[in-house]
Each structure stands twice: as structure tokens, then as C-alpha cells.
Amino acid sequence: MGTAIIRLIAASTDCQLTGAATEPGHAQLGNDAGAVAGAGRLEVALGSQPEVATADCDVAIDFSAAVAFDSTIGACLDSRCGLVLGTTGLAEVAYLRLREAAREIPIVYGRNMSVGVLVFTELACTAARLLGPEADIEIVETHHRHKADAPSGTALQVGEAVAEALGGRLGDLAVFDRFSSSGPRRHGSIGFSSIRAGSVVGDHDIHFATDEEVLTLRHRALDRATFARGALRAARWLAGRKPGLYSMADVLGLEPRDRLPG
């Protein structure tokens, strides 16, 4: 994701890379971040300290692992810069800190920043409202073998929106584990399945099944650039905004969908 974002910044006419950070011990530390991303030299060294990378920026974009969340938020607060955050698998305490930080800086949080996924979510909500609770709903997501969290943040985002469209909460309707349970499917539940295989960028399917028909909606990401492009769009929108916690739906002018859990 980092290299995809840097390439898009380098190709843009209205954005400039002012800092770049990766994990400590990375083999490319100290090298030019643009060259590492295959975008040509940008005269920005790749470092490992978020506070250095954010020292002279308007908006930071972060897709790193959940373990880096505290240092990222701290760096943005110190620098008083906005944050576009696409990290998934965050703990509840991180969501609490995100809300607190949004009182001081503007933040766009999106578990998936693809515009197509926003459309996918809107269609899923429409299907849920029209088909009603009589349809059995199953969400199936497939990602590459290295993805650490399951279900994916996107699957949870879609599930939360669908549950809301049905007048409920995902925490009350979700079924994540059928191995340890027995008996027939619980009426009104939303089932989740996760597949980890190969180098799949990200596939999400949602099935609405009745006794007479099955409706399936699918979103397939073919290139990580789709997430990077959405993140850069969010960064442009966020620059100069007042403090607050925003979503990609806000960026696109849609009804907010991607609220924080809890």
C-alpha cells in the first residue's frame, strides 16, 4: 500500500510527498522513498519514525499494522496534521483513542477506501431493506495468505451497514464461528466466512438467499491502487478541515456508513 500511494502522489500535480515511514529494520531504510516505490527519486528518505515523517505535512496516510497505531496517532497529534487511516484489526482501546484524537485533528477512518466498495455497501443495504429479514445473509471474503485479521475490515463494514438497514446491530446478528455451534441457522443472523489463499488482493461476496432465489453481490479488487487512489482522494478532501472523525462516505457526500464499532 505504501508504494502504491507514493506512486500516485508522484504522478499527481497537486500533492507532494514530504515524509515516509516504514517498520524498523526494513531493508530499504535510508533509501529514497520514491525510488523504492518505483516512482523515481523524490528526495525523501524512507525512515522508521512517524514523528519525523509527519513533521512537515498537511495530511498523513497510514495503512500500517494495528501495532503501529499508537505511534501514528501520537505523531499526527504532535504535528497537528490530519490523518487518513486505513488500518484494520484495531482493538477497542484504539477506537476510543481515535475518537479522542478527532477532537484535536481531522481524521478520515475507512476500513476500505475503494469507491467501488462504497457503492457495493450501498447496494447491499438496498438489498437488505427490500428483501427484509426473510433472506438468509452470508458474507464471504477472500484475501492473500499474509492478511492477519479475519473477518476483513471491509466485511465487517458491510455487515454493520446491512445490520443497520435491517434495524439491528451487527454484534447481535453476526455469526463468525459455526464449528463450535450446532443446530439450524439462527433466523435473522448474518454469517461470515474468511478464506486466506494465494495473493488475492481482496474479494467480497454477500449472498441473500430465500427458498426461491439467491441474490449475490460481489466486489473484486484487482489492484491495491484502488485503495491508494481512494486514500489520496480522502487526503485532498481532509486538508484544511476542522477536527472531527470522518468516513469515506463523508468524502463522497454519501450517508455515513463506516462508523466505528462500539
**Rounded CA separation 101/174 (Å):** 29
Q: Which residues of the chain have pLDDT under 70?
A: 181-182, 256-262
Contacts of 253 by beta carbon, 8 Å cutoff, 6+ apart: none
**The domain made up of 2-109+225-252 is a member of CATH 3.40.50.720:** yes
Give residue-wise pLDDT tens across range 201-239: 999 999 999 999 999 999 999 988 899 999 999 999 999
- CATH code at 115-221: 3.30.360.10
Query: What residue ranges do the domains of the chain occupy?
Result: 2-109+225-252, 115-221
Q: Which residues are catalytic?
A: 143, 147
pLDDT at 261: 62
pLDDT at 254: 76
Question: Do 115-221 and 2-109+225-252 fall under one CATH topology?
Answer: no
Choose among 201, 211, 186, 187: nearest CA to 141: 201
pLDDT at 151: 94
**Rounded CA separation 17/35 (Å):** 12
pLDDT at 111: 83
List 190's β-bridge partners, or say none.
137, 174
**Rounded CA separation 117/211 (Å):** 28
Q: What is the pTM (predicted TM-score) of this model?
A: 0.79
Residue corresponding to grid cell 535510508: 30
pLDDT at 133: 83
